A and B are shown apart, each in its own frame.
Chain A
């Protein structure tokens, strides 16, 4: 593996026994794990290509314990890596050899459900789906639905600003969170946001969401819940070429229709999915579009007709509209099984996550095809077509020497391509360690230093999740330097941090 992490601190490594003992004094019983065998489940997250057992795992049960663990680590200059459910696809929870892995798995309680203000307060280890489960009997749900929703934690969703297939209409995590309780690296407990909309001062919540565990440890989250739409219907539309499918998406949006979900699959993905789940996807098409419409029954029926007309204008060769829930679920079954289905085509696959302006899709797919030839590796594409978020799946065999490296280089080229056409490195999976070294493709050094100065405002010693997101670690003192005129800064009385 070519990934380089911050060098391990030898003093910390040599103090391991002392660190374990100090943590046990804070979190008694089985909440501190130092046995080599028991550490193994924590050595990677959803990005399994990278593995590193942590120095020790601590599983606190209360915010006070989190605060004391962080304060002790801060005082003793010990690095900390926070972890929710460990489903990150970008290595956001990859441990450090000299770092304490702080797991939030025991923060699993729903604290308050408020139907009047339509919000739920949960501890950060509660799974995404559990929030919906807690309120569905009253007809409500939590909108963001990352594909890992059965397992991923809301704290992890906050860290990664997770999306899902419905985020075109309902937004990402950041658009659905009202407040949180966060513990700073020095142990300070802060409440950010609340049950109301919009903050009094700076939008701290906005910058905490999506900060990939680098700014603080989230222990409690307040989310908005929505009434479940009265009904949902889906269309399954086959196209003879990708351009027509792309044009259908563009026209749908131009007509003022924002579907709940709009997913595209290319030929390799369609064939893999159909072979796996056999739900009747057309096999003689180059692109398949699933368009889901939700809302009142009147709305769905009306829009199904509109989208059908748009599809016909754009050379659709097959159109099916779901007649009932069972059929709608069948349309989705293939898409939802796309990753494991593609996984059957090769021993390993590598899932990418760039976003592009939608109009560049045909061009990007064509160039991706050329890269596929160049690297000698097949690629299948699933695509959140409404918002331009691409998930190319690169097929490889890790047991063949050099193939993983080739897959990674292929993936990097795809992401460079995304940025080149005006897009971004990651639409919903996060930077983590995976895309860390590509950050300079998208951001200038000045841009990155400015982001790191925000990090310094939260964690000036850079102890929280170092080695993620930023390709280069600058000391905060170095980042804080300014050009000084005649030896003096203006406004010398102002405090500086």
Chain B
């Protein structure tokens, strides 16, 4: 029997068993906000939208258990109501592809390991997934991790789940760590730095006791002529004020550290999620690299008609460029990082793998791990 929209874990298991029996592959589908990442797939969809809702939320224990199809926005508003947050700042990819926000699900952002600007101070999706339940490619229901914040019992399979992109198993329940939302936040800005200076300034700020929560750089061509390097400081009022003052003194060599109004700041941080400053037409790449090598990673593209946004103090670069994929990937490899193709037209996505090709030994190990969860390759849809 085929289940069109499973609403329970056992129905997900049935759907997997059916696919195994029928010899068809399964594409796990959340809200579809990232459907345009990777190649087009030909597989039977396994929608998770029916597995929605909060299973348990205990703010005092900092633990939240939810079903994967729950909209991200719903969870963010639930935890905000008790003064908490998902500290890894997951966000909706829809706007990057010209869609309205609101489709992203919690299962989707965790499976894609989506972490926002705050990742440099508050860690990533992988660090906040405490446990999960899932149906493996064998059709078996299993659980891993736990529902407490500190646990080292057994292998840390939640780390594999975050960033698995639906290639290992279908998660049916996720337990996440939540944290208090900072009482206050202030964003400070330095205008007019070139990329190299900005990376250096952000490094100085991150290496100081100012406890910078997020640091990003917008080059001049993404802002009508004047670059902006922004630093966010958050926490309790007196502490935020003291640390902002600290930043002003610390970065004086780079220029005057100025206030940014709350609305301007919110708009700039938001634009690092929508990537609006990069324009709507060119392919978009996401580059992870050590911040000190960020400029080296993008150097071969600087002459071309490319635009960059630097987040994570330079450790994350969003690139909009028509350059040859091999040129981009080679430059990023040489700088010790990796480049993911996020947005491109269909033909390019069919040709260019979304993920940076790993070394042969790593690729073989990843393959063996995928087969450990999914021996028949049921979840190998060809997307990656």
Contact = CB atoms under 8 A, between A and B. Distances in A.
Given A203-B160, A458-B365, A497-B371, A117 B127 contact: no
Given A175-B127, A296-B239, A447-B142, A254 B60 contact: yes
A195 interface: yes
Contact of A490 (B20, B163, B366): B20
Contacts of A422: 147-148
Interface in A357-383: 357-359
Q: Tell which of B155, B241, B312 has the most Cβ of chain A within 10 Å.
A: B155
Q: Tell which of A119, A210, A296, A443 has the most Cβ of chain B within 10 Å.
A: A296
Interface of A is mostly: loop
B358 interface: yes
Interface residues of B, number: 101
A482 B376 contact: yes
Interface stretch (A268-276, A315-323, A400-408, A426-434): A426-434
Nearest to B56: A422
A115 B376 contact: no
Given A116-B203, A195-B336, A494-B377, A296 B209 contact: yes
A228 B115 contact: no
Contact of A424 (B59, B153, B207, B293): B153
Interface string B188-208: 000000000000000100111
A94 B33 CA distance: 49
Nearest to B144: A447
Interface in B147-165: 147-160, 162-164
A426 B371 contact: no
Contact of B242 (A114, A296, A458, A485): A296
B254 to A, nearest CB: 15
A61 to B, nearest CB: 23
Given A118-B207, A200-B356, A450-B144, A482 B368 contact: no
Given A426-B152, A491-B376, A197 B20 contact: no
Contact of A227 (B21, B209, B369, B376): B209
A194 to B, nearest CB: 6
B157 A200 contact: no
Contact of B148 (A115, A388, A451): A388
Given A196-B337, A389-B150, A425-B153, A454 B288 contact: no
Interface of B: 20-21, 23-25, 58-63, 83, 113, 115, 119-120, 123-124, 126-127, 136, 138, 140-144, 146-160, 162-164, 168, 179-183, 203, 206-211, 235-239, 241-243, 246, 288-293, 312, 315-316, 336-338, 340, 355-356, 358-359, 361-363, 365-373, 375-378, 380
Cβ-closest 3 pairs across A and B: A206-B159, A256-B180, A299-B239
Given A191-B359, A201-B363, A494-B377, 4 more contacts: A117-B203, A198-B163, A429-B152, A442-B146
Interface of A: 114-119, 139-140, 160-161, 163, 167-168, 171-172, 174-175, 184, 188-192, 194-207, 209-211, 227-230, 250, 253-258, 295-299, 301-303, 355-359, 384, 387-389, 422-431, 435, 439, 442-444, 446-448, 450-451, 453-458, 469, 480, 482, 485, 489-491, 494-497
